Amino acid sequence: MTKVAEPINQLIKKLAKLPGVGGKTASRLALYILRSSKEEAYDLARSIVSVKEKITFCSVCYNLTDENPCNICKDEKRDKEIICVVEEPGDLMALESSGEFKGKYHVLFGVISPLDGVTPDDIKVQELLERLNNGQVKEVIVATNPTTNGNATALYLSNLIKPLGIKVTRIAQGIPIGGDIEYTDEVTLRKAMEGRRDF
């Protein structure tokens, strides 16, 4: 039995619940927190409490936000005519930091997954359709992940939205920048050839 002081044990256990953090990493993080200044450790604890207290979902796009509607939905400079549909808030954050997209977003909070019992009613599909009702939106970019469920959800949305006279596009799939054709899997190569573009 390890004779580690109980408060340290507790912290290690709590840290080990975080994704990608195993027992060894949790111990290392706990020791780092023990070595860091009291102020730094309290700052971290306060930040954790703060996100749980202040962050809610945007009632328009379901992004995580501390104001409602969120600052992307409120931003008059962003293009109201394009909505980019993503699976999770993390996808939205990644796309935002690429700086390419200047329209609005819609977070589905999941993908349709029959095997896991996730139906269209379990994710924010109805909420998306309601946003498309006002006739303002000209294009929906479906940026779900290029997985089986992500692709199926994209197809499902496309079948629902196209009849509304709105253009539906899928984010491009191909060889990632810095990737190596030799070591790229066959499906990606097939997609990359299919999706080739004129210069």
- Would you count residue 177 as binding its own copies (CB under 8 A)? no
- Would you count residue 65 as binding its own copies (CB under 8 A)? yes
- Would you count residue 86 as binding its own copies (CB under 8 A)? no
User: C-alpha distances in angstroms, 64 versus 19, 81, 111?
Assistant: 19, 21, 18
Least distance in angstroms from the C-beta of 196 to its own copies: 29
Rounded CA gap, 8 and 192, in Å?
Answer: 50
- Would you count residue 22 as binding its own copies (CB under 8 A)? no
Among 17-25, 133-141, 142-150, 188-196, which window interacts with its own copies (CB under 8 A)?
A: 17-25
- Residue among 85, 172, 168, 156 nearest 114 (CA): 156
For β-strands 64-65 and 56-57, DSSP reports them as antiparallel
User: DSSP label at 87?
Assistant: S
If residue 7 lies in a helix (H) or strand (E), which one and from where to where? helix 6-15
Residue 103 · residue 84 · CB < 8 Å:
yes
Among 88-96, 136-144, 174-182, 183-191, which window interacts with its own copies (CB under 8 A)?
A: 88-96
Based on CB atoms, which residue is closest to its own copies, 101 or 156?
Answer: 101
- Would you count residue 47 as binding its own copies (CB under 8 A)? yes
List contacts with its own copies (CB under 8 A).
1-8, 10-11, 14-15, 17-21, 25, 27-34, 38, 40-52, 54-55, 64-67, 70-72, 75, 88-90, 93-94, 96-97, 99
